[in-house]
Each structure stands twice: as structure tokens, then as C-alpha cells.
Amino acid sequence: MSEVPRELRDEIPSFDDGPTHHDHGPIDWTGLTSIRGAKSALEIGTIIAIAIGVFFGLEAILRLSDTPTYIFPKPTGVVAALTDDFQLQYAHHLWVTLQEFFIGYAIGSTIGLILAAVITQKPFVEKVVAPYIIILVVTPMVALVPFLRVSLIQGVDMWPIIVAVALASGPMVLINAATGFRRTDLAKIALARSYGASTLQVFRKIRFPLALPMIIVGYMIGAIFGLLTAIGGEMVSASEEGGLGRQLIYFSALIRMENFGAVLMIIAALGISIYVVFYFIGKRWASWES
Amino acid sequence: MSPVEGTAKLEIRGATKTYEAKTGPVHALQDFSLEVAAGELVCVLGPSGCGKTTLLWAMAGLHALTRGEISLDGSPITGPRPVEIGMMFQDANLLPWRNLRKNIELPFEIKKRPVDKGRIEVLLKEVGLDGFESSYPRELSGGMQQRASIVRALAPDPGVMLLDEPFGALDAFTRDEMNLLLMRLWSETSKTIVFVTHNISEAIFLADRVVVMTPRPGRLARIFDIELPRPRTVDMTFEPEFIELIQEIKRTVESGARHTVEVE
């Protein structure tokens, strides 16, 4: 019966003659957690040793070659620049970037999630909407910020960047969540229905939990794209409040490379934080998948 | 053993189901009629694709028939009847994101009924799963998952159980163990059971009557009354009487297959 097309097998479960397997769709959860959580002391030690080696190795090379700071800042210089005047030079801009990121991300991801749940109910709607989602996914929303600032949302506030963040993160959540909602496990839906479940109960008890791992993946990718867009948006057209992206431009224009390096460190820390947060969310809510 | 007119628990009359597939209509089930008495254990046997799951899903009210009618206690089945009918699916069909207890509580949750903790505890003990309540399905063996699935189906105490090849994915030993467990639980209650399988010896081992279906489109080929004494044991499956029955039923299944090939 293996030649029976997939659509038909969905309709007539009896025609599948092999034992039904736990097929939860083409998701490779390991992509998100490929850097495994449980590490041995040796692994952790090695990771720290590499970090220390790179830090001091770079320091030594730059000192021995007498490279000027404006060509390449020394790691110790960057750390000093970071800790020296954190409150004045970075804290405010970090706060601006975080606001733009979180507001835009909250709006974009919420709309993306709701749209995903709605459009996957009707294959026709999904097929019609798909090309437009692809356009949103592949368009770098950073490029929209200057346009938004002079055209649609005139002004010098954070809104053009917030909108760009929403437009960057929303489609990522949408496209992944839609993949999740499309994973209809007919046997499990039938199980719920045999207990008299309503459409809403089927959604809450079966479809949503089944989609949750993909929704989390979407939220993580959306967060990373949102952060990139916030920083990039500030680089091309910041609000009068500034932001980490504008500080990059500012410090490089002044050839203050140690400060520039310090801003980069903060941005990297934000990215790593996103990864760590989603690592634990995935572990808590989606570990049944692996 | 065939029920007397008017006393049937389940009544299937002229059940016919046709699917529209891309390649044209698929006749899954044709003019199938059967009566099942209260407290009876009937096995529906047929090759893969003969429409037995289609039949069972229609009995569970999960999809409508193209023609014909199925009624339970005299009232036609038009949708799921969660209070009266419990369904077990191919493989254990547990929700992997819920632990055992949460899986077993699912029917109560959906029906918004208070969880019958005492009954669940007794059942868990009976199938040897007490102490595994907080385990997740992936941490359990296939047999244990299947036992949890039995507990989930029995916990809300339905009068009718519909089982769709529930043990098809298990190895032979575990399957025997599950069949014995099922018969023990059945003999302790007075449930009406319709059990779909493509395994002849499993069908004979369990059933009061074995209903043999022809390959697609599924029609009734023949009904065998199984008069083996109860309680049944695995040893019985090696008796000549049992093996004779297997051969006779096998011949019926095969002649049904040849018949269909000739027609086509």
C-alpha cells in the first residue's frame, strides 16, 4: 500500500499497513540544541582555556607587532573601555536598543503566531499567502528604516526601527509556526475527537502542543533577526536617542576602536543571551521531541 | 451467539463508504452489515486496506458513511459518543508531551469531568504501571505504552470499546501478554468490544465471533463462531482445534482475495 498518496492516507488510515510510527514531521530539533547542554568538566575547561588562549594570544601578537589601536584594539583595551565608563557610554544605548527590540519583537511575533494559526486552517489561504510571506522573509528590513523615517512614520523617535524589527521577526515566527501547525497527526486529533473534543479543544490539547517545538524555533530565529535589524537599523538611521548600532558608527567615525570593540562585545552578549534563553525554553517545553 | 433481533448493542446496516481520491473514487466499504450483542467480543479480520479501520472510525462517529447506518442502543451514530464509546488506536497513540498521568487524564479533561483518581489507580495497578505516573511515553517500552493506552481507554468506563489493531506494532510476546490482559479486563467488566486486526490467530484467541472481510471494497465474507472455552490460554493456540480454525479462516480470507481479483 506504499503507493497510496499521502493525502489519501490522511483520509483513510487503514490503508497504511505497516505499524504507525511516531512521525512528528520533518523537524530536526538538534539544529537548535546542537551545542549540547550537559557538558563534562573537561569540555567546559577546554572551552574556557580556548577563550583565555585567544584573549591573551591576540594581546601578545598585537603587543609584539606593535599594532596601533586604530588598526586593531587590544583585548585588554576593549575590556578597559567596556568597564571604564559603562554607565555613560553604553548603558543608555543598550536600553534604547533593548526597547526597540522588545517592543518590535513582541508585536511582530504575536502577529506572526496568530497569522500562522489562522492561515494553516485553510490550505487555499496558505497557498495564496505563501509567496508574500517569502517576500517578507527575504527582504532585509534594515533597508526600510530610512524610508520609514522620512516617509510613513515621520520623526526621530524609535518607531521606524520598532516597525522594522516587527517586520523582520514576525515572518520568521509565522513561517516556522505555520510548519508546526501543519503537522497534523490525524490519529491524535481523532483520539481527542473520540472523547468529544471541540475544535478549540483539539487546537489547545493537540495541535498547539504538537506545533510548540516549531513555534519555539520560530521565536528564536525571529529574536535573532529582530536583534540584527534593531542594530542595523540604528546604524543606517538611528533615533535621536541613539542605540548600540549608532554607537558603532559613532566610535568608528572617531576611530575609538576600543570603544567600538566594547559595543561589539555587548551585542555579542545579547545574541548569546537569546540563544541561552531559548535553549532553556526548548529544554523545558519541547524536549519530548528529541 | 449471533444476537437475537432487537437485542443488539451495536447495529451496522448496509455500511458503504467511498472516498474521492485523485485517481478516482476508492470504495473502502460496501454493504457491510453486522450486529454485535451487549458484552460480546467481536474481532473484525481482513487484509490491509479492506476497510476495517474505515468501519471502526464510522462506528466511533469519527467520519460519516456514504450510505448505510450504524446505531448504538438503537440510536444512530452521527458523531463521537464519548460517554458510551471508548476507542483505542493503532499503536499506543499517547501524547508525547504529556506524562502518563496527564495522558490518562486527557479524556476527563476534554469532557470537563472530575478525574476518577481511584479508578485510574486501580487500573494502573492492574496493568502493572503503578509508579510510572510521571514517566513520559518515550521513557517507556512499547508494551508499557500500550498498557497505558488501555488504562486511558478504560478510565472513563465506556460501555463499548472499539480497538483498531492496537497491538499491531508490538512483538509477538508482548502482543500475547496484551491480549491476555485485555481478556482479563474484559471478563471482569461487561464491555462490548469490537477489535479490528489482520492477525488471524489473535482474532481467534480473543473473539466470541470472528468477522472476516474481503479485500477492498470491504464486504462481509463470513462470520466464524469461536467456541473455545474461556478463560483462554496461550497454550490453546497450539491445539489442533485452534490450528484447524486458523487454516479455515485463512482459506476464507484467501478465497475472498481471489474472488476480488477475478471481479477486477
For B120-168, what is each residue's pLDDT tens digit? 999 999 888 989 999 999 999 988 998 899 999 999 999 999 999 888 8
Do the Cβ atoms of A195 and B51 come within 8 Å?
Answer: no
From chain B residues 183-222, the ones with a CB under 8 A of any chain A CB are: 198
| N-term to C-term CA, chain B | 35
Assess A9–B contact: CB distance below 8 Å, yes or no.
no
- For residue B107, give the chain A residue with the closest CA: A195
Lowest mean pLDDT among A31-35, A80-84, B27-31: A31-35
Mean local confidence (pLDDT), B175-186 = 88
How far is it, in rounded angstroms, from Cα B54 to Cα B218?
Answer: 9
Residue of B20, B27, B54, B89 to mutate, testing the A interface (most A Cβ within 10 Å of its Cβ): B89
Q: What would the mean pLDDT of B84-112 be, rounded to a whole number?
A: 92
pLDDT for the residue numbered A290: 65
The most confident of A29-38, A141-150, A267-276, by mean pLDDT: A267-276
Q: Is A183 on the interface with B (CB under 8 A)?
A: no
* Residue A38 pLDDT: 60
Chain B hits for A192, CB-CB cut-off 8 Å, are 106, 110
- A–B: how many Cβ contacts below 8 A? 101
**pLDDT score of A5 more than 70:** no
Tens digit of pLDDT for each residue in A91-115? Answer: 999 999 999 999 999 999 999 999 9
Q: Do A196 and B82 touch (CB under 8 A)?
A: yes
Mean per-residue pLDDT, B175-189: 88
Q: What is the pLDDT of residue B245?
A: 92
Identify the pLDDT of residue A197.
93
Q: Quote the crossing angle between the two packed helices B100-111 and B117-126, to the nearest 10°.
A: 140
* A chain contacts of residue B62, beta-carbon cutoff 8 Å: 190, 193-194
pTM of the model: 0.80
Q: Which residues contact B228 (CB under 8 A, 6 or more apart)?
A: B204, B236, B241, B242
What's the CA gap between B206 and A250, in Å, rounded? 81
pLDDT digits (tens, 9 = 90+) for A152-205: 777 778 999 999 999 999 999 999 999 999 988 888 999 999 999 999 999 999
Please report, rounded to a whole number, the percentage of residues in chain A having pLDDT higher than 90.
67
Give which of A21, A191, A205, A287 to mutate to test B binding, by max B Cβ within 10 Å.
A191
Cis preceding linkage at B217, omega within 30: yes
Reported ipTM: the value is: 0.85
CB contact under 8 A, A1 and B48: yes
Cell of A129: 499567502
- The percentage of residues in chain B with a pLDDT greater than 70, rounded to a whole number, is 94
Domain range B83-263, CATH class: alpha beta
Strands B41-45 and B24-37 come out as unpaired
Q: Does B89 touch chain A (CB under 8 A)?
A: yes
What residues of chain A lie within 8 A of the CB of B26, using their CB? 8, 12
Q: Is the pLDDT of residue A69 over 70?
A: yes
pLDDT for residue B104 is more than 60: yes
User: Looking at the partner chain, which of B97, B107, B138 has a beta carbon nearest the beta carbon of A195?
Assistant: B107
Q: Which of residues 39-78 of B touch A (CB under 8 A)?
A: 48-54, 57, 60-62
| Number of CB atoms found within 10 A of residue B183's CB | 17
Residues of B in contact with A191 (CB under 8 A): 87, 89, 93, 106
The closest alpha carbon to A15, from B92, B27, B65, B194, belongs to: B27
Nearest CB to B111 within list A21, A188, A196: A196
Query: Is residue A216 over pLDDT 50?
Result: yes
Which B residues, 102 through 141, put their C-beta within 8 Å of a C-beta on chain A?
A: 106-107, 109-111, 136, 138
User: Measured between beta carbons, which residues in chain A are less than 8 angstroms from residue B89?
Assistant: 187, 190-191
Given this model, what pLDDT does residue A24 score? Answer: 39
Higher pLDDT, B210 or B216: B210
Above 60 in pLDDT, residue A25?
A: no
Average pLDDT over chain A, rounded to whole?
85
- The answer, yes or no, to whether residue A213 has pLDDT greater than 70, is yes
Q: What residue of A is the nearest CA neighbor of B156?
A: A195
**Lowest-confidence region among A23-32, A62-71, A216-225, B119-128:** A23-32
* Contact status of B91 with chain A (Cβ, < 8 Å): yes
Which residues of chain B does A188 touch, with a Cβ-Cβ cutoff of 8 Å? 93, 95
Higher pLDDT, B174 or A226: A226
Q: Are B192 and B38 in contact (CB under 8 A)?
A: yes
> Which triple of cell numbers denotes residue A96?
534604547
Question: Which residue in chain A is spatially nearest to B162 when comparing CA positions?
Answer: A194
Q: Is B180 on the interface with A (CB under 8 A)?
A: no
